[in-house]
Chain A
């Protein structure tokens, strides 16, 4: 039904929930319906075009097309081929990483790269060229894509492989080069679904950089920082590193009954006080187990937040912004220190402040976010003007350092900031599908 005519709704927001606007939704279930659905979507919203939409785990407006049409992919979730010998898996773009893990883990395979939630689609992972805790060793998701199918609005169906310029535009291409219909991915062999994990508390920012350098031999590294700490304690936190264990069995592990945020939290739930209490507690917990190698199932290690469905409602009705930056090695210490100082002074920021160093492996996409250096990611409840002012201060620090922001997490960066961070954006435009668009793109490319 909706494959032919579409359904008008304002219910589809992205993870940050700051933008609510009507979109015309098409939800095909089969590959043979795609050309028709795409044609209908383009015809229905001539001025605004169409945008593919996965599981809406992007935070801001890069996955939204207000007043325009969107093509929902999650019903396209079939595996097309899998060869355990070559480890190549080909599947439709709407397949979620969660559904994929549920059946490849018991067979001894894992995702080569995974973001911090498994509720994202293959198409979404390609379009943002996502990164994980193993960036220093594995690079981005796009590096493991061996081929993909791209459907353009003129009806041509292309099969793209590494080396093809259109593939470089499509990886990290924010859904703007056409509809990714299937993805072929090289999987990682694992001997066990158990993770070996070690946490280490660091007392300041230098401590973080020391641990990051010393941990290059670990597959996965990431750090949590106490974003309220100031002065000598600025940048203190918990560094955690992990690797796939060699034994312990291969279990898909369905999470036991999901906790769910029953409603939007009232605006006062998240404030300096609760945040301070949480951070103190978390740090104390970290100190207790610091330096001890533990065995943990893979789910809580990779996806700590997936156990609470709709945790984004914690930030209340007005939603929240995430701010994820990367700054190159030359400036990483000063820039990170300056950002953490500004955040602590403002007393904003979130439970989850994440710090990680990206390795030197080049990202394959023209607009891929990761580059060598340090990345910092935080959530900020949307409190209006003061929040936007703080983010603007952070922008200045990132720009000065020659860094950039992650479009998947962005809902507000000025056009100039985007263009400075992604000099390839102009060349990217020639690869765009003329009928694809998004709120983000209209904001950063056309003012």
Chain B
């Protein structure tokens, strides 16, 4: 028997996070779940336990407003009895029109998806580097690849996280750094989760959370610093990024 993997999920009730946690649960992992809603975390924990997780410690806290991520992370690691991977999966997406109209709403979108996520990612990177091994996986979005009128405020926050994660991966990969460090940004395309429940989700561009979860699970072991989920989005976004503005502006995407 190998020792169970210790995986901490920040945003343990997100649809993609739950699907990923189930894959780790089937392997008998210890899965820490952090998030705002204690009752819902407990429901996810029951599910993961039934599916084979060794233990599912819960950390109810508001990740978006937490001021001491480094201290919190250290405490969570101790409570879990170790830490191999941190998966940062929380986020929110409101209607873009409200972000454009109302500064408070826009600030919230940016704070949750960028500022707080960046601070947790930095703290996790520091902890992982200090222990000399571990993986940090952060959920970005294809929305961060090019500002589109439908969701560029959310997209801007995700673009910021992308730059931050590239920087962390760059740092982890520098000559002389411990070999057991991983930093990966996973960029899902549109996925059928609760976050997108209000949208028209028919059509082939939508993925199931399970598809994205399998890619995240693989990214925890191998793959580059940027992983698209599903992989075809790498090529789609390559094209979209390089469309000349006069064509891009006509597209209602």
Q: Which residues of A contact B194 (CB under 8 A)?
A: 27, 29, 75
Chain B residues within 8 Å of A3, by CB:
197
- Contact A78 to B46, CB < 8 A, known contacts A11-B202, A103-B26, A103-B51: yes
Q: Would you give the shortest CB distance from A242 to chain B, in whole angstroms?
A: 27
Chain A residue nearest to B194 (CB atoms) is: A29
A77: nearest residue on chain B (CB-CB)? B47
The answer on a CB contact under 8 Å between A81 and B46 is yes
B144 within 8 A of A: no
Contacts known (A79-B50, A81-B50, A103-B52); A29 close to B197, Cβ less than 8 A: yes
Bound-state Cα–Cα, A1 to B199, Å: 9
Could you say which residues of chain B place their CB within 8 Å of the CB of A31? 43
> Which B residues form the contact surface with A (CB < 8 A)?
13, 15, 18, 22, 26, 39-40, 43-44, 46-47, 50-52, 194, 197-198, 200, 202
Q: Are B46 and A79 in contact (CB under 8 A)?
A: yes
Q: Which residue from B22, B46, B47, B198 sits with its C-beta under 8 Å from A2?
A: B198
B51 touches A32 (CB 8 A): no
Q: What is the predominant secondary structure among interface residues of chain B facing chain A? A: helix
Interface size on A, residues (CB 8 A): 21
A126 to B46, CA, bound (A): 23
- Ordered by A's residue number, 10 sampled pairs between the chains whose C-beta atoms are within 8 Å are A1-B197, A7-B197, A29-B15, A30-B13, A32-B40, A79-B46, A80-B43, A80-B50, A103-B26, A103-B52
If A32-B39, A32-B40, A78-B44 touch, whether A9 touches B200 (CB-CB below 8 Å) is yes
Contact partners of A78 in chain B: CB under 8 A: 18, 43-44, 46-47
Q: Could you tell me the distance between the alpha carbons of A31 and B39 in the complex, rounded to whole angstroms?
A: 10
Given A32-B39, A81-B46, A103-B51, A7:B198 Cβ within 8 A: yes
B198 to chain A: closest residue by CB: A1
Q: How far does the alpha carbon of A2 sit from the alpha carbon of B194 in the complex, in Å?
A: 9
Task: Give the contacting residue for B50; candidates A1, A32, A82; CB below 8 A.
Answer: A82
* Shortest distance from the beta carbon of A87 to any chain B beta carbon, whole Å: 13
Does A2 contact B197, Cβ atoms closer than 8 Å?
yes
For A2, list chain B residues within 8 Å (CB).
197-198
User: Which B residues are CB-close (under 8 A) to A107?
Assistant: 52
Q: A29-B15, A32-B40 are in contact. List 18 more A-B contacts (CB 8 A).
A: A2-B197, A7-B200, A9-B200, A27-B197, A29-B194, A29-B197, A31-B43, A75-B15, A79-B46, A79-B47, A79-B50, A80-B46, A80-B50, A81-B46, A81-B50, A103-B26, A103-B51, A103-B52
